[in-house]
Amino acid sequence: MATLPVLVSIPLDRHPYLVVPGTKVHLDKIDPADHHLYEGDKSEGKNALVPLAAELGSLQNLLYAQGRKRLLVVLQAMDTAGKDGTIRDVFADMDAIGVRVVAFKAPSEPELAHDYLWRVHSQVPRNGEVTVFNRSHYEDVIVVRVRGFAPEERWSKRFDHIRCFEQMLVDEGTTIVKFFLHISKEEQKERLQTRLDDPEKRWKFNPADLEDRARWSDYQRAYEEVLSRTSTDAAPWYVIPANRKWYRNLVISRILIDTMTGLKMEFPKPDFDHKKIIVE
Amino acid sequence: MATLPVLVSIPLDRHPYLVVPGTKVHLDKIDPADHHLYEGDKSEGKNALVPLAAELGSLQNLLYAQGRKRLLVVLQAMDTAGKDGTIRDVFADMDAIGVRVVAFKAPSEPELAHDYLWRVHSQVPRNGEVTVFNRSHYEDVIVVRVRGFAPEERWSKRFDHIRCFEQMLVDEGTTIVKFFLHISKEEQKERLQTRLDDPEKRWKFNPADLEDRARWSDYQRAYEEVLSRTSTDAAPWYVIPANRKWYRNLVISRILIDTMTGLKMEFPKPDFDHKKIIVE
């Protein structure tokens, strides 16, 4: 049997998709269809995800068993870029007992009556838990900015808040990884059309998505500022080429595996000698 | 009838008890028995609180009616210094509908499984609300430090976190005032003895209080660093001489009145002409 093509593994601090802290991101210089880290094709790439998802499952189990660290994964993207699909595919082998997905929609009345980080902080992972933010506090410097929901004087201060907030979480024992799923405007067109055409996907279509699409370049500029200003050593951003779903899944899985492996976790040492215990 | 002695009113940014941001606090140079802002005696001082408490009640009602701003009052002190008494006396005329007191005790298991600001952030005031923190996140750089509940490497980073956290709250519309109730070690001795002797106060006594008392100077040094490093324009600390309860109440009330008056609040303008509405 032929060997499967391999996904190139790269140290995280030199990863080609890492937004190096302090550098400026130009999204139009990053090809959303790039797939240079994997030499195989779509079908091979889909198969290659299977062992990666299993490895992620094992690592999550270890995180849960150890019960001392926490992992926060932040997903941000334009509509249809694949946040839901990433969660379904990449986290497929994780155990629901220790994984929690939090989707941040338009804020409710009690949420609006507090600062924007209030609802976010309440949902951060606890010891042993993996939490995935499907959208996040970054909407408060993205959609809020592009749609004018708050004046610049208000949202412009949030970059500092967010850096501080994430640094605090990390100082206190949380690991944070942030992914921006990068698709082309043309790819979004196709995916929106599919949502309209497919009766089983139509529920995901929202006419307001077209209003956001009409502001595509405003969103790209807002994302560029976010990525440039909030990628830190403590909480790095990765810009994931996401036109190819299978490639997106492979790259994210690999980064998560390398991140979790870096935590050097161990199963808790029992305080008994298992050989001396007789179960009758 | 003779005029009542008056409490001297002083602009907040020049208040003698304000910890000017960036300056170093020396608690042993602040007399806990000071009462130089009020020329009356104890009995007159107690009477003088009545109109102040009423004014605070009116201001809280306005804050609630307007429903757009939030007030967070932080109380920190050594045991017996009067946190509970301050709440009872100063907030006496506020309406429970819009005031919430949160006492932070030893953290629970779910609280310990998160960062130390998690439980605190969840309790910050909402629009229109006054929230009083009876102890607070400052315990995480005070008792945690003095009792060695976390290593220095951990707690020493928290001064930055806390400054950032409070700045964020203020940027997003919350007003923060922080009071350290300053008593002498001798005064604490008397109050602890009273708690032991009085059957109706004995429930407040905790033998562990004596362990903290034995670490008096460690606590004073820890407080000095906290006050010096976390008094900011956004969230100032006031060191309140608190050996005299009536004086403590007067000074805190006056500072709160001046702080709330500074918010320049107004009742919401009705969107109807009340003269044209007939209630039948």
Q: What is the pLDDT of residues B131-143, one digit of tens each?
A: 999 999 999 999 9
User: How far apart are the C-alpha atoms of A144 and A53, rounded to whole Å?
Assistant: 34
Q: CB-based contact (8 Å) between A68 and chain B?
A: no
Q: Which residues of A touch B154 (CB under 8 A)?
A: 171-172
User: How far apart are the C-alpha atoms of B143 and A253, rounded to whole Å?
Assistant: 42
Token pair of B93 as six digits: 């005329």
Sheet of strand B237-241: strand arrangement: B99-103, B130-134, B70-77, B174-182, B237-241
Q: Which residues are registered as beta bridge partners of A70?
A: A174
Interface test with A, best of B68, B108, B111, B114 (most A CBs within 10 A): B114
Q: CB-based contact (8 Å) between B117 and chain A?
A: yes
Helix count and strand count (H, E) for chain A: 11, 5
Amino acid at B184: S
Q: Tell me which H or E stretch contains A220.
A: helix A216-230
Residue A130's SS3 state is strand
Neighbours of B218 (CB within 10 A): 14
Burial of B198 (0-12, 13-18, 19+ CB in 10 A): exposed
Q: What angle do CA B115, A154, B230 make, to 5 degrees?
A: 45
User: How far apart are the C-alpha atoms of B73 and B101, rounded to whole Å?
Assistant: 9
pLDDT for A9 equals: 81
User: Tens of pLDDT along A143-201?
Assistant: 999 999 999 999 999 999 999 999 999 999 999 999 999 999 999 999 999 999 999 99
Selection from B117, B147, B146, B133 nearest residue B222 by Cα:
B146
ipTM higher than 0.90? yes
DSSP string, B58-93: HHHHHHHHH-S-EEEEEEEESTTSSHHHHHHHHTTT
> A121, B118: Cβ pair inside 8 Å?
yes
Whether residue A2 has pLDDT greater than 70: no
Backbone angles phi, psi at B72, to 5 degrees: -115, 120
Burial of B129 (0-12, 13-18, 19+ CB in 10 A): buried
> B122, A117: Cβ pair inside 8 Å?
no
Q: Which residues of B touch A115 (CB under 8 A)?
A: 124, 168-169, 172-174
Q: CB-based contact (8 Å) between A124 and chain B?
A: yes
- Domain extent listing, chain A: 12-265
Neighbours of A211 (CB within 10 A): 10
Q: CB-based contact (8 Å) between B168 and chain A?
A: yes
Interface test with B, best of A172, A175, A230, A232 (most B CBs within 10 A): A172
Token pair of A171 as six digits: 């100082």
Burial of A57 (0-12, 13-18, 19+ CB in 10 A): middle
Q: Tokens 């949420």 map to which residue? A: A111
pLDDT for B200 equals: 93
Q: CB-based contact (8 Å) between A115 and chain B?
A: yes
> A165, B165: Cβ pair inside 8 Å?
yes
Note whether A117 and A137 are within 8 A (CB).
Answer: yes
Q: Which residues of B touch A116 (CB under 8 A)?
A: 172
User: How far apart are the C-alpha atoms of A142 and A131, rounded to whole Å?
Assistant: 21
> A113, B122: Cβ pair inside 8 Å?
no
Token pair of B103 as six digits: 């006492």
Q: CA distances (Å), B24 to each of A168, B15, B178, B224, in order?
A: 25, 16, 16, 8
Distance of CA A90 to the CA centre of its chain: 10
**Region class of A128: left (phi > 0), else alpha (psi between -120 and 50), else beta:** left
Token pair of B226 as six digits: 């906290």
Note whether B132 and B87 are within 8 A (CB).
Answer: yes
Note whether A207 and A271 are within 8 A (CB).
Answer: no
Selection from B140, B142, B116 nearest residue B222 by Cα:
B142
Handedness of CA B198, B201, B206, B211 (dihedral sign): negative
Q: Tokens 């562990």 map to which residue? A: B208
Note whether A135 and A199 are within 8 A (CB).
Answer: no
> From the list B126, B165, B169, which residue is nearest A110 (CB)?
B126
Closest residue, chain A, to B123 (C-alpha): A118
Whether residue A35 has pLDDT greater than 60: yes
Q: Which CATH superfamily is domain A12-265 in?
A: P-loop containing nucleotide triphosphate hydrolases (3.40.50.300)
DSSP state of B141: G
Selection from B162, B174, B165, B79 nearest residue B131 by Cα:
B174
Whether residue A221 has pLDDT greater than 90: yes
Half-sphere exposure of B71 (CA within 13 A, CB side): 31
At how many degrees (to 10) do helices A83-90 and A42-66 cross? Answer: 70
pLDDT tens sequence for chain B (280 residues): 566 687 888 999 999 999 999 999 999 999 999 999 999 999 999 999 999 999 999 999 999 999 999 999 999 999 999 999 999 999 999 999 999 999 999 999 999 999 999 999 999 999 999 999 999 999 999 999 999 999 999 999 999 999 999 999 999 999 999 999 999 999 999 999 999 999 999 999 999 999 999 999 999 999 999 999 999 999 999 999 999 999 999 999 999 999 999 999 999 998 999 999 999 9
Backbone angles phi, psi at A219, to 5 degrees: -65, -40
